[in-house]
């Protein structure tokens, strides 16, 4: 095998498939199987990263035909700059999570076998890498189903829990509805590209086809619907906050961090690469749904007290931010503004990488907390920074990154998105001049709400005193493999934030390939230290200088407080007149979100009540107050619940056909034959 990037990428997939095949041979020695399998998964992920980095850097385009598939329909593979970027995203997070998984998965030993978890974990990553490499509809859909099927079995891994089974079923149904829509989109494109031959199913044939506008719109609508279902775009998001918390935390990191990005890859591939000519209102639809997902996702997250569920809803928000960049790029390219289109596209791709890393880090942190405490409910946590300082530090890095605070990576991609928004006066369309500033305001609001949400998440989980009723005696810091996975992700967050110009230079070939313009000439014209998206006079940012400034302030504060004798004095906390503060007097997750819940309560279905337990002496002095709060998603009530109830009703009606009598079934067969004879003559 030649050491070309496409061969290296293919070898990565083969290693993962081979690991899934041989892992059951070691099922009697679970510890060895875990270490062996996840080390191989980490090596395969590293190979994928190497192939992706080289491909994007050199703007390479490599193709391969595999002699598998169906007769006259072999699998076609292609590795270009766009595929190389997503190969890097998937491989990089898979590398970190695989290292983390060595310690995390061992936590299941003693009460269940982890053989199925290891097998489907490897198949899951292999499926995602194959989706990115596929260059025809058949290979893409087969890879898509491998990814979806493997992730279903990972979600249902702890199948003794009824909630997990329900979450897995909901995920499977939504995933396959989306897959049907994608299949239909490919059917339209392949039918137009075929010209009476089988070759129309390849992406190359679709690229070269002259697609009529109405069929292009139909293909875009179907594909965007299908990929949005996988990405969790509102209103197709209902499966996401159910499935991600149900899965093991290492799997949640991959599902939220990179599985959702395969849907972003599909949207970019079909829209920019295969169809590549589209009207401005396609971008307006993408932008609008991105804005709705951004603000609604963060509001839903703020209402949660389950740590993993909170993180899952934030994936909805960040997918919305990515779609904002893509939508802006589509609008700009429709109006023949290629430089601004490059800015919007690269802002979206930058946030794709950033979200993969910091969301993976946060889910690994949540997994470390769950591993140490057995709890996902933040109301039952508190003060973990004293027992888990490494986890607390890494989780804080993730919180700062996702809150878009410098010098971490989330700030750079959101700042680039704002720069694209601020250039909307360049558009010759008055409707867009109105929509885009409104979108900028919504993005700013969601950024402030995200910061508030992660103040809550970190503060309630790691600061203060233990809030739970029973403090676990086994509370401890996680092992070195779990800390290593989180540390690598945290350092990557910092590197992407401090050195953004290097990343822009690397991914600039994607913009050249898809929109015909580059950003690096303007963005890096003042050297590696300064990021200037369009011009220095308009806006510039130096992550390196911000980082150095923060280091200087922190070092000076430390020296001031610790070198000067008597600079630190410890005393009892101010108790507001009470004699003694208890852990019940702290803010918890519910009380922290109350002001925002009051303001935006009309967006949710809220049920709130208080019950008194009367004192034996007099009812005016209640012994206890029980507070009940339920915050539900209105979209579930308006959209999903009626569909589910209708499906059950149809099933019950269809069930009446089963009479249990052979005579009745013969009558059914006779009527069916008559109908076929009448209508198919």
Measured at the CA of 436, the angle between CA 432 and CA 442, to 5 degrees, comes to 150
How many other CB atoms are found less than 10 A from the CB of residue 448? 12
Using alpha carbons, select from 464, 473, 413 the residue that is nearest to residue 443: 413
* Widest distance between CA atoms in the chain: 100
Question: Two tokens at 564?
Answer: 């000067």
So what's the pLDDT on residue 593? 76
CA–CA distances in Å: residue 232 to residues 224, 237, 240, 291, 543: 12, 4, 6, 13, 31
- The conformation of residue 62, written as its DSSP 8-state character, comes to E
Question: Two tokens at 636?
Answer: 């579930």
Measured at the CA of 258, the angle between CA 96 and CA 126, to 5 degrees, comes to 80
So what's the pLDDT on residue 522? 66
Q: In degrees rounded to 5, what are phi and psi of residue 505?
A: -60, -35
Place of tokens 């979108």: 439
Question: Two tokens at 578?
Answer: 């009470």
Helix intervals (H) in 576-681? 589-592, 594-599, 634-635, 641-655, 662-679
- Burial-class residue 571 by CB neighbours within 10 Å (0-12, 13-18, 19+): exposed
Rounded CA separation 289/236 (Å): 11
- Burial-class residue 455 by CB neighbours within 10 Å (0-12, 13-18, 19+): middle
Q: Cβ distance 80 to 513 under 8 Å? A: yes
The answer, as to whether pTM is greater than 0.85, is yes
Rounded CA separation 247/105 (Å): 12
Residues in the chain: 681
Rounded CA separation 448/444 (Å): 6
Per-run averaged pLDDT (10 residues), the chain, 681 residues: 83 94 88 92 95 92 85 87 95 95 88 89 95 92 93 89 86 91 91 71 86 90 93 88 89 93 94 88 92 91 88 92 93 88 92 94 92 84 88 94 91 90 76 82 90 90 80 79 94 93 90 83 71 76 88 85 68 66 73 79 78 69 73 78 80 74 79 80 59
Q: Please tell me the chain's helix, strand, coil percentages from 3-state DSSP, rounded to the nearest 5.
A: 70, 5, 25
Helix intervals (H) in 258-388? 260-268, 280-302, 307-334, 338-373
Place of tokens 């193709």: 63
- The conformation of residue 108, written as its DSSP 8-state character, comes to G
Rounded CA separation 282/303 (Å): 32
Q: Phi-psi bin for 500: left (phi > 0), alpha (psi -120 to 50), beta?
A: alpha
The 10 Å CB-count burial string (b at 16+, else e) for 17-55 is bebbeebeebeeebeebbbbbbebbbbbbbbbbbbbbbb
Angle between helices 137-155 and 162-194 (to 10 degrees): 180
Rounded CA separation 73/41 (Å): 30
Using alpha carbons, select from 508, 649, 639 the residue that is nearest to residue 229: 639
Rounded CA separation 326/233 (Å): 14
Q: Cβ distance 409 to 357 under 8 Å? A: yes
Chain centre to alpha carbon of residue 681: 52
Sequence-distant (≥ 6) Cβ neighbours of residue 450 within 8 angstroms: 298, 301, 314, 317, 402, 403, 404
User: Cα dihedral angle (312, 144, 325, 399), rounded to 10 degrees?
Assistant: 30
So what's the pLDDT on residue 211? 86
Using alpha carbons, select from 179, 164, 173, 161 the residue that is nearest to residue 223: 179
So what's the pLDDT on residue 566? 64
So what's the pLDDT on residue 183? 93
Rounded to a whole number of angstroms, the CA Rg of the chain reads 27
Rounded CA separation 345/276 (Å): 14
Sequence-distant (≥ 6) Cβ neighbours of residue 126 within 8 angstroms: 13, 16, 17, 20, 146
Half-sphere exposure of 657 (CA within 13 A, CB side): 9
- Residue spans of the domains in the chain: they are 600-681
Q: In degrees rounded to 5, what are phi and psi of residue 62?
A: -125, 140
Rounded CA separation 616/530 (Å): 71
Rounded CA separation 568/581 (Å): 22
């Amino acid at each position: 095998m030649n050491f070309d990037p496409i061969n290296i990428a293919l070898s990565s997939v083969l290693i993962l498939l081979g690991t899934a095949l041989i892992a059951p041979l070691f099922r009697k020695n679970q510890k060895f199987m875990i270490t062996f399998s996840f080390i191989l998964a980490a090596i395969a992920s590293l190979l994928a990263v190497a192939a992706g980095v080289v491909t994007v850097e050199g703007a390479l385009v490599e193709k391969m035909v595999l002699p598998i598939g169906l007769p006259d329909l072999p699998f076609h593979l292609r590795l270009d700059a766009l595929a190389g970027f997503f190969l890097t995203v998937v491989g990089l997070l898979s590398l970190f999570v695989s290292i983390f998984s060595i310690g995390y998965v061992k936590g299941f030993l003693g009460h269940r076998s982890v053989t199925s978890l290891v097998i489907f974990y490897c198949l899951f990553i292999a499926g995602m890498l194959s989706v990115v490499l596929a260059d025809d509809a058949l290979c893409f859909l087969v890879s898509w189903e491998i990814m979806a099927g493997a992730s279903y079995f990972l979600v249902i891994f702890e199948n003794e829990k009824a909630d997990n089974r329900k979450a897995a079923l909901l995920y499977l149904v939504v995933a396959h509805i989306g897959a049907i829509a994608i299949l239909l989109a490919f059917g339209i494109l392949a039918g137009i590209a075929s010209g009476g031959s089988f070759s129309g199913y390849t992406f190359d044939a679709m690229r070269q086809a002259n697609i009529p506008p109405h069929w292009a719109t139909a293909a875009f609508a179907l594909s965007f619907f299908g990929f949005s279902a996988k990405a969790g775009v509102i209103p197709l998001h209902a499966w996401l906050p159910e499935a991600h918390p149900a899965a093991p935390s290492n799997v949640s990191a991959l599902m939220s961090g990179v599985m959702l990005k395969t849907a972003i890859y599909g949207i970019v591939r079909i829209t920019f690469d295969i169809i590549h000519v589209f009207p401005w209102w396609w971008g307006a639809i993408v932008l609008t749904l991105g804005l709705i997902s951004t603000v609604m996702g963060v509001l839903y997250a703020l209402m949660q007290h389950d740590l993993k569920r909170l993180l899952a809803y934030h994936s909805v928000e960040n997918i919305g931010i990515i779609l904002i960049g893509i939508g802006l790029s589509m609008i700009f390219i429709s109006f023949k503004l290629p430089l601004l289109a490059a800015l919007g596209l690269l802002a979206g791709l930058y946030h794709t990488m950033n979200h993969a890393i910091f969301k993976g880090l946060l889910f690994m942190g949540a997994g470390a907390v769950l591993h140490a405490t057995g709890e996902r409910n933040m109301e039952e946590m508190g003060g973990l920074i004293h027992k888990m300082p490494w986890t607390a530090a890494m989780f804080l890095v993730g919180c700062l990154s996702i809150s878009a605070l410098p010098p971490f990576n989330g700030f750079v991609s959101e700042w680039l998105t704002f720069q694209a928004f601020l250039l909307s006066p360049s558009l010759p369309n008055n409707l867009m001049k109105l929509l885009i500033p409104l979108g900028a305001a919504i993005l700013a609001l969601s950024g402030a709400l995200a910061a508030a949400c992660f103040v809550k998440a970190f503060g309630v989980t790691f600061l203060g005193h233990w809030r739970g009723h029973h403090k676990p005696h086994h509370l401890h810091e996680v092992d070195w493999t779990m800390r290593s996975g989180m540390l690598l992700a945290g350092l990557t967050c910092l590197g992407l934030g401090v050195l953004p110009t290097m990343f822009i230079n690397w991914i600039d070939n994607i913009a050249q390939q898809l929109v015909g313009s580059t950003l690096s000439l303007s963005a890096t014209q003042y050297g590696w230290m300064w990021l200037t998206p369009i011009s220095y006079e308009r806006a510039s940012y130096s992550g390196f200088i911000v980082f150095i400034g923060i280091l200087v302030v922190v070092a000076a504060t430390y020296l001031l407080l610790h070198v000067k004798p008597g600079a630190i004095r410890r005393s009892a906390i101010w108790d507001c007149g009470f004699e003694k503060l208890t852990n019940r007097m702290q803010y918890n997750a519910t009380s922290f979100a109350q002001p925002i819940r009051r303001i935006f309560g009309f967006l949710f279905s809220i049920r709130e009540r208080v019950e008194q337990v009367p004192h034996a002496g007099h009812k005016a002095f209640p012994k206890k107050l029980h507070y009940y709060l339920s915050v539900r998603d209105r979209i579930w009530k308006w959209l999903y619940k009626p569909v589910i109830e209708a499906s059950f009703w149809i099933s019950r009606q269809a069930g009446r056909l089963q009479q249990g009598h052979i005579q009745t079934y013969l009558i059914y067969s006779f009527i069916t034959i008559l109908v076929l004879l009448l209508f198919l003559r």
